[in-house]
């Protein structure tokens, strides 16, 4: 009898969890079609290299960025306006929606550059005190709960962010990326971005 009740309880709570996720997904989709679509695409697999791909990005990382934009801890003219009147519930919904989408991968057209980028990503450069990117972003660039997935990201977006970190115009990273970026030449930034697009 007790066991029966327990099973019913389990069944009901997973049902509640299921509808909660479904509601978030639906609300997320509405918000994305209404507000994000033009720049990031309907599933976050943006086709323009100016706008980061958000499809398949990690939920916690997405939430942090949205909160950072709202509090101006990360500056962007476009994103500041977009998030101005969004609530925490809206953030939860769009972040969940994007995290569940599939992202495409680019193709590298420059084999030598890609190989140079792979070396930086996987091995770093001990002589320059440069840690391998892999140490934080993972062997395949998938990131973690709090660290961004950078595999498959647009080359131009990655390069732009590395420059922003170097110039200390992006400062929401606890100085970790600022330290990395200042040890990379612009050729190395381009090479590692070229590697990432096809990863």
CA–CA dist 28, 145 (Å, integer): 20
User: Does 25 participate in binding ligand HEC (rule CB under 6 A)?
Assistant: no
150 binds ligand HEC (CB under 6 A): yes
CA distance 37 to 11: 36
Residue 116 and residue 113: Cα distance in Å, rounded? Answer: 5
Q: What is the CA radius of gyration of the chain?
A: 19
Give the span between the Cα atoms of 45 and 104, in whole angstroms.
Answer: 7
Give the angle 115-116-120 at the CA atoms, nearest 5°.
Answer: 115
**Cβ atoms of residues 81 and 39 within 8 Å:** no
**What does the longest C-alpha to C-alpha distance in the chain come to?**
69
Cβ distance to ligand HEC smaller for residue 52 or 56:
52
What part of residues 89-148 is at the interface with ligand HEC (CB under 6 A)? 94, 120, 131, 133, 135-137, 147-148
Residue of the chain from 31, 59, 142, 156 that contacts ligand HEC (CB under 6 A)? 31
In whole angstroms, how close is the CB of 176 to ligand HEC at the nearest point?
Answer: 4
Quick check: 27 binds ligand HEC (CB under 6 A)?
no
Q: Which of residues 41, 52, 56, 152 is near ligand HEC by CB under 6 A?
A: 52
C-alpha dist (Å) from residue 50 to 9, 57, 136 = 48, 17, 24
The distance of closest approach from Cβ of residue 32 to ligand HEC in the complex, given in angstroms and rounded to an integer, is: 6
161 counts as binding ligand HEC under rule CB under 6 A:
yes
Q: Is 66 in the site for ligand HEC (CB under 6 A)?
A: yes
Question: Closest Cα to residue 158, out of 118, 120, 190?
Answer: 190
Work out which of 79, 92, 106, 178 binds ligand HEC, going by CB under 6 A.
Answer: 79
Q: What does the binding site for ligand HEC look like in residue numbers (CB under 6 A)?
A: 31, 35-36, 38-40, 51-52, 54, 62, 64-66, 76, 78-79, 82, 94, 120, 131, 133, 135-137, 147-148, 150, 158, 160-162, 172-173, 176-177, 180, 184, 192
């Amino acid at each position: 009898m007790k066991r029966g009740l327990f099973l019913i309880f389990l069944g009901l709570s997973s049902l509640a969890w299921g509808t909660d996720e479904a509601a978030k997904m639906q609300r997320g989709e509405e918000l994305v079609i209404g507000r994000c679509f033009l720049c990031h695409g309907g599933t976050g697999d943006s086709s323009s290299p100016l706008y980061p791909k958000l499809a398949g990005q990690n939920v916690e990382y997405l939430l942090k960025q949205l909160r950072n934009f709202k509090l101006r801890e990360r500056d962007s003219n476009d994103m500041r306006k977009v998030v101005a009147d969004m609530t925490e519930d809206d953030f939860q919904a769009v972040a969940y929606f994007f995290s569940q989408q599939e992202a495409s991968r680019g193709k590298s057209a420059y084999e030598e550059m890609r190989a140079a980028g792979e070396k930086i990503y996987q091995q770093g450069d001990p002589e320059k005190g440069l840690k391998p990117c892999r140490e934080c972003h993972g062997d395949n660039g998938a990131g973690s709960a709090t660290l961004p997935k950078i595999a498959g990201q647009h080359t131009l977006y990655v390069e732009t962010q590395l420059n922003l970190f170097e110039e200390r115009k992006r400062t929401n990273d606890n100085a970790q990326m600022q330290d990395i970026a200042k040890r990379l030449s612009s050729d190395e930034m381009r090479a590692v971005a070229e590697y990432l697009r096809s990863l």
